[in-house]
Chain A
Amino acid sequence: MAAQLLFFYFGGVTIAGAIVAVTSRNIVYSALSLLVAFIHIAGIYVLLNAEFIAAVQILVYAGAILVLYLFVLMLFNPSEEKLYLHKQAKVGIFLGVVVLFMMLFAGYKTEIIGKGGPLTAQAVKEMGHTRVIGNALFTDYLFPFEVASLILLVAMFGAIVLAGRGVHRKKGPAGRIDLSYRDKLPKKSSETPEEVIVGR
């Protein structure tokens, strides 16, 4: 009974946070309500005996990805938008409701048939969830694991190359790195390198 109450709390707040994230006019509110939704999804994972996934959800989604979004969002001088909906908004909502009922109709009666596998609550309790995941990840799924690391590497290079485009690095007077967009700022009167003043 307690588990059911917790499930309704986590599920309800998740869906409410998702709806606020999508419909809010202020984009900062959107990002913060998305954060609320992600943290409550971690609660759903705990109810499903997946503690490691819950920790990864909080560390990676709520910690890394959302902070990245918030940093970039602050670059755009966020303000409330007047015309924030597409003109096809009504059609979109109607199609969304139709798709929702179709998917619920298809999925609501789902049951697992066949006998269960080895991952029971008892096994997780004995071995620890991290160990169970690690056993699968580094034996059966070793090749996909390596491919995922390659994807992350390529994404890192891609993000650096894309976002760093047009910012030429050159050595400044004092050997500092000068970013070229700073050249548009009014220059100081003297070209001599600034001396570093060390106290006392």
Chain B
Amino acid sequence: MIPLSYYIVVSTTMFVVGLVGILIRKNFLIILFSIELMLNAANINLVAFSHYSGKVDGQVMSIFIIAVAAAEAAIGLAIIIILFRGKATTNVDEMDLMKW
């Protein structure tokens, strides 16, 4: 039997890795990857709590999170495609115009 705190350690570490990735990287795509990591950390937590408390609600919430993550990936990638068409860079520091 694996204690609940092991899962919490894994999900916390993943969340912090995603947070540090957002803070230190310049590439837009890596920032999107880090957001996905943070969403997955939340999912691990939800499923673990659902398993140990014996209620199904956490797993249903994790399905909703997966749906929202798919929507977020589609919109984020569309935004970066139009940004790249106007200004050939993926560096977030250079994306400082509302319109060109």
Q: Is the CB of B53 within 8 A of A88?
A: no
Once bound together, how far apart are the Cα atoms of A68 and B48, in whole Å? Answer: 28
Tier of interface size on chain A: 35 or more
Main secondary structure of the interface of A (DSSP, over half): helix
Main secondary structure of the interface of B (DSSP, over half): helix
Known A110-B4, A136-B57, A158-B75; judge A15-B13 contact (CB<8 A). Answer: yes
Q: Is the CB of B8 within 8 A of A7?
A: no
Give min CB distance, A147 to chain B, whole Å: 9
Q: Which residues of B contact A49 (CB under 8 A)?
A: 51
Interface string of A61-88 (1 = CB under 8 A from B): 1001100110011011000010111101
Q: Which residues of A contact B48 (CB under 8 A)?
A: 48
Give min CB distance, B16 to chain A, whole Å: 4
Give min CB distance, B90 to chain A, whole Å: 6
Interface string of B56-68 (1 = CB under 8 A from A): 1101101110111
B80: CB under 8 A from chain A? yes
Q: Which listed residue (A108, A109, A119) contacts B55, Cβ 8 A? A: A119
Tier of interface size on chain B: 35 or more
A200: CB under 8 A from chain B? no
B71: CB under 8 A from chain A? yes
Q: Which residues of A contact B63 (CB under 8 A)?
A: 53, 56, 133, 137
Interface string of B69-99 (1 = CB under 8 A from A): 1111111011111101100001001000000
Q: Which residues of A contact B30 (CB under 8 A)?
A: 21-22, 27, 30
Nearest chain A residue, comparing its CB with the CB of B77: A72
A189: CB under 8 A from chain B? no
Q: Which residues of A contact B40 (CB under 8 A)?
A: 37-38, 41, 61
Q: Is the CB of B6 within 8 A of A75?
A: no
Q: Is the CB of B14 within 8 A of A15?
A: yes
Q: Is the CB of A117 within 8 A of B34?
A: no
Once bound together, how far apart are the Cα atoms of A88 and B22, in whole Å? Answer: 11
Q: Which residues of B contact A47 (CB under 8 A)?
A: 2
Known A27-B30, A110-B5, A133-B59; judge A148-B54 contact (CB<8 A). Answer: no
Once bound together, how far apart are the Cα atoms of A50 and B85, in whole Å? Answer: 42
Q: Which residues of A contact B90 (CB under 8 A)?
A: 76
List 16 additional A-B contacts (Cβ < 8 Å) besides A148-B67, A152-B71: A11-B6, A14-B14, A18-B13, A18-B17, A22-B21, A22-B34, A31-B33, A44-B10, A48-B47, A86-B26, A92-B20, A103-B15, A114-B53, A140-B57, A158-B75, A163-B82
